[in-house]
Structure 1
Amino acid sequence: MAEFRGKVVTDEDLKKFRQRISQYEWHQLGLFDEYFLEDLIYIIESLDAQCILRELSSRKIASVEYYQSIKKQCGASVFAEMLVEDIHVSGRDAVLGFWESLYVLQNDHPHPNLLGALDELTQTDKLEQSILLDKQGPELHERLQACQLQHKQYLQEKTQNLVEHRAPGLTNKSQSFHISERYLDLIVVSSNHFRTHSQHELIATGGIHEHYLQRAQSNLERISPNRLFRWCHRKRSVPKTVLVSGVPGVGKTTLMQKFVYDWANGNLYQRFAFVFFFKFRDLNTMGKTSLAQMILSEYPYLRGDLEQIFLNPKNLLFIFDGLDESKNQVDFKSSHLCNDPQSSGDSSIIVVSLVKQTLLEGCSVLITSRPTRVAEIDVDIFHRMSQIVGFFPKQREMYFQHFFKNTLAAEKAFHYVRENGILYTFCYIPAYCWIICTVLEMSFKTQGSNDPTGFLFPKTVTQLFVAFVSNILTNHNQDVSHAKKALTELGLLAEYGLSNQALVFEEEDVQPYITNTNSHMVSSFIVESGQPPRLSYSFFHLTVQEFLAALLHYLDCSSEKLKETLTNTRSFEDGRREIFLRFISGLSDNSTRSLLKPFVGTLSAQASKDVISFLQESVTQAWNPDRQDADKRKILNVFACLAESRNKGLVSSSIGSNQEFDFVDFYLAPLDCTVLAFILESCGETELLDLSSCFIQSEGLERLAPALHNIAVLNLTNNNLRDEDMRYIHSILTNPQCRIRTLSLMNNGLTEESCLTLANAINENKSLRELDLSKNKLAGKNSFLQLLAVLSEPTCRIECLELQEIKLTPEYAAFLLSLTNNPNLTDLNISCNFFSDTGYPHIQQLILEHPSLKQIRVGMNSFSDKTENKLQQLQRQRPGVKIIM
């Protein structure tokens, strides 16, 4: 991201920075440390530990060896927390030296959180006053103090409990927990990734989420709730208008609830004397209104004080949740605005007027929305745009612990999901976590029972939702005809919603499809909101809506209608029907459909045949290995549908074996890797898989590993793999059926620590002939020499060995002589190392004495011109060996 570029810090810059921060008193520095605490921990986690420790060590603040051992033993988070705490308790000089170190680091590590913190520390003259204002709040008249207290008490009571839905039939009521017990941190970032959406937002964001997780050192700005209205480095100002985006079910409303709760309890943003929280879903029912009426309809106790409250707009925050649920067009480009809190108009005009500051100039506004709606509006007016990317792994595991309460059950459930790439990837969404936990809870209860309707452990997302629906039907004990009728009605409404991009339905929308909205069965899938006579409805989750729309075609099959739907689905370039398409593909699997048979009877086999024909046609259109311009995203979307169908025969017949798969320079999310693994397993033997620069990293490699032994040529170049990932390479190479002939691990993050594991794998492997380890930091005496020993064995089958740019120094030249013992080695690349003239005699001996060598690359090794001439002249002595400089 171009806006985050490091500056070249000169000695003069550092001198000015030192003078600036030296002016602060110790109590001010302590205040700043507390204020920036989360940022500092995140920055240290994200930066190269060696770099920050080197800077601190040069100022005699921290021991490199001690903190390196802490990081190795306890992980990056504990290391960062300990370092920040230790520096703070070390006194004023240590704290000043710490800030100086961070200031210097922006040269090579322009992390946005680092730049933002430095910016805020030096550019805002009244930082101390700003921090104290957020702690203590503005001064208010006595009457307004009493009014504020009443308002806070009301909001505290309204937001203090989180409602956890329970599977229908398990309990008569939803369970309620105090928010401090159950709230888990959601990861919020400042990003423009969601501005484009060429695929379904859940899938796209799932991929982006894992990308963020793996690339904390990239230009990712973490925005914790207490930073939403803090200094914005991009805009060079404190934002007044903030937009928070997030996919359905990711926790936008929960985040807002926690935000309001923390404000009401005095723990967040006390600079705002009053916070007003609205949902667009409720505004839909208002008709013409004014800002004053909007507030009084929600907070009637403010009637006598509202005029006084409006006198200081800078003390006010307006939160509007769910822009995507607004029935009115909220046009932020509109010039039709209002400036009087008492004047009536559409609620959308009032919202836009607040954002554009024609109404209550100086107030702050926070809006949430789905990414698809964000992509359709003019967002330039917002000072800060953020995205909720849901749970990171730690929060996912904690969610399971909270849900199951029983530690063993929680561990068993999480382990099962962790092993299933598709389910685990979607676990970044809290709503998905709830569905998955609900289904697994039922699976545990019926495991080992003789109940013929016992729940299976789901393998695909389709099976997950089939089990979820089966759970609901089990608890309602309806006969087959009633259950089928109810699901058909729900499916018709769901399909209407997808066709019209509707998430919220008024009564007039629902009546043509559903005969009884008060049915317990219907209320298991649909959430009712509002008050009579202005009720609105929505499905529990967008994905539930998409599943029921797909299930409809198996409940009430019309080949003509199904084919029309599938054709239309393919035409959507924005990917909005991608999950629907995966569900309809997943239901083509007979074993998946049969789970619903006890409840709704036999689902349509004809629909399954039509879908399989559609998938065959889709593969033909998307998959053509000879095309250079093939749309790789479309290919993976088709592959994902095949994976949901679990139809290995269909994959084998439509794609075949011995194919070449090329995904070079295409980012593969872990979910993509899971899908690709299914395709590779179904195809059997594959000639080539090129994953160069696909950014698969640890989790992606873990997902792919079970299928990679069947590849003849495997290219994993430039994927940011690490030493710990060598265990997967080991499992692949030591598979008894391994047929890998060529393996490239070039330009990853491998070090000497990976050498021993790799050596053991090569020692066991029988197929490998070409190995590329170039551009890794492998130099390191013991382990690298053990690897070299294996590569030098007379039984070693490696014919082509690439050791370019792996940090080899002159002392290694002598050890390379052992390669003369490998009678199969014909090509060797040792270019771009540091042998220099000192290493020349051994390289000369290697060239002259190796019995089978045909080509060697030795250039860019800091040789003198004289030595390079000697190397070229060796060609005459060994004409059978091609020497490339």
Structure 2
Amino acid sequence: MMRSVSPTPSCASMRSDISKYSEQSQSRRKESEGMKNLAEKKKFHEDLVNIFRELENRVITFMKHELERFKKLLRNDNIKYYDKGVDDNYDAREGALNIALHFLRKMNQIDLADSLEKCPIELCQQKLKSNLKKKYKRVLQGISQQGKSELLEKIYTDLFITEGRGDVFSSENEISCIEKATRTQDTEEKPIECNSIFQPLPGEEKAIRLVLTNGVAGIGKSISVQKFILDWANGVENQEIELIFPLPFRELNLKKEKYSLMEILHQFFPETKGMMFTKRKDYKVLFIFDGLDECRHPLQFKKNEIWSDLTTPTSMDVLLTNLIKGNLLPNALIWITSRPAAANHIPPECIDLVSEVRGFNDEQKEEYFRKKIEDQMLAERVIKLIKESRSLYIMCHIPIFCWICATVFETILLETESSRASKQQILNTLTQMYLHFLIFQTKRKTEKYDDEKSSCCGSPQWDEKGTRALGQLAFDNLLDNNLIFCDSDLTDCGISVEDAFVYSGMCTQIFKEDSGILFGTAFSFVHLSIQEFMAALYAHICMSKDNRNVFADEDTCSEKETNMTDLLKNAVDKALNSNSGQLDLFLRFLLGLSLESNQKLLPGLLTYSERTSQSKEEIVKHIKDKLKENLSAERSINLFYCLNELNDKSLVDDIQNQLKSGSLSCTKLSPAQWSALVFVLQTSEKVIEDFDLKKFQRSDECLKRLLPVVKTATKARLDNCCLTQESCLAIAKILSSSSLKELDLSGNAIKDIGVEILACELQNPQCKLETLRLSKGSITGEGYALLASALRRNLHLKELDMGGNDPGDSGVKLLTGLQKDSICKLDTVRFYFISHCDIFFKPSIRTCSRVTICLF
């Protein structure tokens, strides 16, 4: 019997079997996954319990630690142990303090909460004041190793500080600014006491957060900052400020890594460890950033991200820009000092007050010498000698130049009484002053390091290699307008860091070293003028020793030009081509050092030849040829100072003789003579406050030539001088930056177009004109309307004379209607009586509430 064959499974049954298997498999997987998830969830819950148990223990331990610390703070106990590790726990400690303050206030312990909130600040303040007092109580006159330090309070002389002017951000040559400032006598300038820098000005209520203080190099900005800090640390001034953090830009320059603001503070000021900025809004913390012109950070205010985090690291540039803009610590006060050319790096909208350090006035100059020189009879002799040289006396506007003068003259007069008369004749130029300063410092080095070779009264032992190296450093960086040098700048000139101390010892106060707290060592010359002098000396050494013109590698100079005349001509041309006057003082020193009398003071460094004498004649002619060209007043004046360094006063003597004879009003002058006239008038010991154009020549050209003199006067008499609208344009250019209070243009046909030009500047808040006379100026009703519109925005004009013009009824009404304007300060308007004017019926003086209208 045959067995039956099993039927073949159908496709349907096979699919059914597979489906069942799949479902069973998925069911088993889900069951397995569910069990796994349950296990993981159970483990997570267990871990979470453990983690939070550990977290609770740590939080409780931390809070107990902090609460114990808070109790010690309130009891004024020593908390040194409790301040360990604050860099890692700043945020946590701030949170703990905020929690404690919150619950204390909830418990109605308001006084205790307020006291606790102030404790870290007060503790930090005590330590900070103590350390700042030690750091700032003395002023170093020279480098820290060899320089002489004196108590700041003993030698400090008040500086003239004013509210900033409209042209404060000018890039004009600083020496020109100095010389100009000594001639400007603005009676309405608002003087500001250094310690009142953050107090609102009289009549203003706006709170001051950021102050920008300008001033040329060496004018006393850093000393003002030092005095402010010392008075605060001594508890004398500004005690409402809780903390002051001085952070000079030069100490931040090498900062490349990322740091948080708190890390910066902790490293610069270790006493801030443990101190926290809480949410309290009335903190008064002051950051002082001294030397904006020395800052090497880009200060990218527009590109940098907004940053308000105190504890997260970022770049120094981000920290600086956000502190200045107020994103980081918005309630902190900021004080920035700068030379004028660098001030525009700060956006104007960030600045609440611009102040300007003007240096010493004449009384302060003499006060400084009497404080600096202990022997008062000697001090009086030094003052007398300096006064006899107008150029030196002008430069004493700068405190550091007073120090140089005091050093040189005191030394010379002490060396021998018999030298008094001769030295009185010799030291009458800047070059001679700086030469003797260099000689004195070199003798000091020789006496200190090798007193067997030379005494202080003997001949100096010149270190040619060291002097050349310092000169190269000065020259190369002067061309790049660099005043601060790092290690690589020194090695490029063949100076090692170790050598720098020897060279600075050689020159003592000529070269100084600054040790930053964080960032190593930076170097600079004590003052820009010393760098300029050393650069000029280097140029002469290269010519004398190597027959090499330092400008030979420049496109403007051929390598064949290797004689002294070519060097001096190159320097004159380069200085004239610099709009900022960057090489003006360098040029003066370079020319002064070309004289035989000066070169003989540097035996071994410079070699005098007959060719040098011929070079003087050629360069004097070159300068006089340049004066015939249409140069700016600043460039012309510097060239006359250059002629003074070369002992050539022919142009000046000629003009002075004509001034004495009174012949200038009828003499036609050459361009060089015009420049000489401006120079003589501007450097005169007596400031011209009342300028009368009729003493010179009655013309538009004469007024334009003498505009720099008009700018420093308080009163300008330009009446009946045949002037046109061209003169109005010239006057308008200086109105907002001049000292003019009274301007008389009567009797000149300036017409309506001239009034329109003047009206534009009358609206400028910086225009301080109080009296304006425009009688008999061929002005019609259109001109009156322009004046009326301008005076509605004018803050200073009090008196207006419009007699002899034909305004028509509408013109008179427009001007007299100004009495209703609250902004306009005009109180007197003068007209000649006009018969067809129907608003007045007879000659009289009428008073309409505020404006007096005089009819003649």
Is the Cα–Cα contact under 8 Å of residues 140 and 150 in structure 2 kept in the other structure?
A: yes
Is the Cα–Cα contact under 8 Å of residues 585 and 612 in structure 1 kept in the other structure?
A: no
Q: Distance in 2 between matches of 1:367 and 1:416?
A: 37
Query: Match for residue 366 of structure 1?
Result: 335
Pairwise CA distance, 1:445: 2.1
Q: 2:133 aligns with which of 156, 178, 189?
A: 156
Taking a change above 3 Å as real, the CA distance of residues 607 and 248 of structure 1, as seen in their structure-2 partners, is farther
Q: Which amino acid aligns with 1:205?
A: I
Local SS of the residue matching 2:245:
strand
**Cα deviations by residue, 1:566-617 (Å, 9 ceiling, x for unpaired):** 43333211111111111112223322332x2346353566567557544533
Q: How does 1:323-338 map to 2 (within 5 A)?
A: 323-338=292-307
Q: Which amino acid aligns with 1:473?
A: T
Q: 1:293 aligns with which of 226, 249, 263?
A: 263
Local SS of the residue matching 1:518:
helix
1:573 aligns with 2:579: yes
Taking a change above 3 Å as real, the CA distance of residues 674 and 277 of structure 1, as seen in their structure-2 partners, is same
Local SS of the residue matching 1:503:
coil
Q: Distance in 1 between matches of 2:228 and 2:493?
A: 38
Q: Distance in 2 between matches of 1:670 and 1:280?
A: 40
Q: Which amino acid aligns with 1:584?
A: L
Query: Match for residue 526 of structure 2?
Result: 540
Query: Match for residue 238 of structure 2?
Result: 269
Taking a change above 3 Å as real, the CA distance of residues 470 and 523 of structure 1, as seen in their structure-2 partners, is closer
Q: 1:215 aligns with which of 174, 186, 200?
A: 186
Is the Cα–Cα contact under 8 Å of residues 279 and 321 in structure 1 kept in the other structure?
A: yes
**Cα deviations by residue, 1:515-563 (Å, 9 ceiling, x for unpaired):** 3212121554211112698211101110000011111222221243735
Query: Match for residue 597 of structure 1?
Result: 602
Taking a change above 3 Å as real, the CA distance of residues 321 and 465 of structure 1, as seen in their structure-2 partners, is same
Q: How does 1:432-581 map to 2 (within 5 A)?
A: 432-448=401-417, 457-477=426-446, 482-515=462-495, 516-519=499-502, 520-530=505-515, 534-557=520-543, 558-559=548-549, 560=561, 562=567, 564-581=570-587
Is the Cα–Cα contact under 8 Å of residues 232 and 384 in structure 1 kept in the other structure?
A: no
Query: Match for residue 621 of structure 1?
Result: 626
Is the Cα–Cα contact under 8 Å of residues 661 and 690 in structure 1 kept in the other structure?
A: no
Q: Distance in 1 between matches of 2:244 and 2:831?
A: 66
Query: Match for residue 763 of structure 2?
Result: none
Query: Match for residue 385 of structure 1?
Result: 354
Taking a change above 3 Å as real, the CA distance of residues 281 and 609 of structure 1, as seen in their structure-2 partners, is farther
Q: How does 1:68-79 map to 2 (within 5 A)?
A: none
Is the Cα–Cα contact under 8 Å of residues 413 and 419 in structure 2 kept in the other structure?
A: no
**Cα deviations by residue, 1:781-803 (Å, 9 ceiling, x for unpaired):** xxxxxxxxxxxxxxxxxxxxxxx
Taking a change above 3 Å as real, the CA distance of residues 666 and 269 of structure 1, as seen in their structure-2 partners, is farther
Q: Distance in 2 between matches of 1:261 and 1:250?
A: 19
Q: 1:317 aligns with which of 282, 286, 290?
A: 286
Pairwise CA distance, 1:364: 1.1
Query: Match for residue 660 of structure 1?
Result: 669
**Cα deviations by residue, 1:803-832 (Å, 9 ceiling, x for unpaired):** xx9xxxxxxxxxxxxxxxxxxxxxxxxxx9
Is the Cα–Cα contact under 8 Å of residues 455 and 467 in structure 1 kept in the other structure?
A: no
Query: Match for residue 829 of structure 1?
Result: none
Is the Cα–Cα contact under 8 Å of residues 241 and 366 in structure 1 kept in the other structure?
A: yes
Q: Distance in 2 between matches of 1:152 and 1:450?
A: 48
Is the Cα–Cα contact under 8 Å of residues 389 and 428 in structure 2 kept in the other structure?
A: yes
Pairwise CA distance, 1:687: 11
Is the Cα–Cα contact under 8 Å of residues 422 and 674 in structure 1 kept in the other structure?
A: no
**Cα deviations by residue, 1:414-454 (Å, 9 ceiling, x for unpaired):** 12212321111111111000001111112212345589998
Query: Match for residue 376 of structure 2?
Result: 407
Q: How does 1:254-265 map to 2 (within 5 A)?
A: 254-265=223-234
**Cα deviations by residue, 1:471-505 (Å, 9 ceiling, x for unpaired):** 12333347988533322221111011111111000
Is the Cα–Cα contact under 8 Å of residues 323 and 367 in structure 1 kept in the other structure?
A: yes
Taking a change above 3 Å as real, the CA distance of residues 412 and 329 of structure 1, as seen in their structure-2 partners, is same
Local SS of the residue matching 1:141:
helix
Taking a change above 3 Å as real, the CA distance of residues 299 and 643 of structure 1, as seen in their structure-2 partners, is same
Local SS of the residue matching 1:276:
strand
Local SS of the residue matching 1:405:
coil
Is the Cα–Cα contact under 8 Å of residues 480 and 601 in structure 1 kept in the other structure?
A: no
Taking a change above 3 Å as real, the CA distance of residues 276 and 331 of structure 1, as seen in their structure-2 partners, is same
Q: Which amino acid aligns with 2:232?
A: W
Pairwise CA distance, 1:389: 0.4
Q: Distance in 2 between matches of 1:592 and 1:675?
A: 27
Is the Cα–Cα contact under 8 Å of residues 596 and 612 in structure 2 kept in the other structure?
A: no
Local SS of the residue matching 1:345:
coil
Q: Distance in 2 between matches of 1:666 and 1:353?
A: 50
Q: Which amino acid aligns with 2:573?
A: T
1:226 aligns with 2:209: no
Q: Distance in 2 between matches of 1:675 and 1:636?
A: 16
Pairwise CA distance, 1:403: 1.6
Taking a change above 3 Å as real, the CA distance of residues 606 and 649 of structure 1, as seen in their structure-2 partners, is farther
Size of the alignment, in residue pairs?
A: 568
Pairwise CA distance, 1:461: 1.0
Q: Distance in 2 between matches of 1:485 and 1:604?
A: 22
Is the Cα–Cα contact under 8 Å of residues 584 and 611 in structure 1 kept in the other structure?
A: no
TM-score by length of 2: 0.58
Query: Match for residue 683 of structure 2?
Result: 673
Taking a change above 3 Å as real, the CA distance of residues 864 and 450 of structure 1, as seen in their structure-2 partners, is closer
Taking a change above 3 Å as real, the CA distance of residues 262 and 527 of structure 1, as seen in their structure-2 partners, is same
Taking a change above 3 Å as real, the CA distance of residues 636 and 456 of structure 1, as seen in their structure-2 partners, is closer
Question: Which protein shows a greater Rg?
Answer: 2
Aligned residues with identical type, % of pairs: 25
- Unpaired runs of 5+ residues, structure 2, are 1-113, 447-453, 550-560, 659-666, 688-695, 719-739, 748-774, 776-801, 804-829, 836-855
TM-score by length of 1: 0.56
1:178 aligns with 2:151: yes
Q: Which amino acid aligns with 1:521?
A: M
Computed over aligned residues only, the root mean square deviation of the Cα atoms, in angstroms, reads: 4.7
Q: Distance in 2 between matches of 1:676 and 1:180?
A: 33
Is the Cα–Cα contact under 8 Å of residues 673 and 700 in structure 1 kept in the other structure?
A: no
Taking a change above 3 Å as real, the CA distance of residues 382 and 437 of structure 1, as seen in their structure-2 partners, is same
**Cα deviations by residue, 1:23-56 (Å, 9 ceiling, x for unpaired):** xxxxxxxxxxxxxxxxxxxxxxxxxxxxxxxxxx
Is the Cα–Cα contact under 8 Å of residues 660 and 687 in structure 1 kept in the other structure?
A: no
Local SS of the residue matching 1:528:
strand
1:188 aligns with 2:188: no
Is the Cα–Cα contact under 8 Å of residues 589 and 647 in structure 1 kept in the other structure?
A: no
Q: Distance in 1 between matches of 2:533 and 2:643?
A: 17
Is the Cα–Cα contact under 8 Å of residues 528 and 535 in structure 1 kept in the other structure?
A: yes
1:586 aligns with 2:592: yes
Query: Match for residue 7 of structure 2?
Result: none
Taking a change above 3 Å as real, the CA distance of residues 140 and 619 of structure 1, as seen in their structure-2 partners, is farther
Q: Which amino acid aligns with 1:290?
A: S
Taking a change above 3 Å as real, the CA distance of residues 631 and 210 of structure 1, as seen in their structure-2 partners, is closer
Taking a change above 3 Å as real, the CA distance of residues 610 and 488 of structure 1, as seen in their structure-2 partners, is farther
Is the Cα–Cα contact under 8 Å of residues 191 and 387 in structure 1 kept in the other structure?
A: yes
**Cα deviations by residue, 1:296-326 (Å, 9 ceiling, x for unpaired):** 1111121111x24685474211111111111
Q: Distance in 2 between matches of 1:675 and 1:556?
A: 38
Is the Cα–Cα contact under 8 Å of residues 541 and 606 in structure 2 kept in the other structure?
A: no
Is the Cα–Cα contact under 8 Å of residues 274 and 315 in structure 1 kept in the other structure?
A: yes
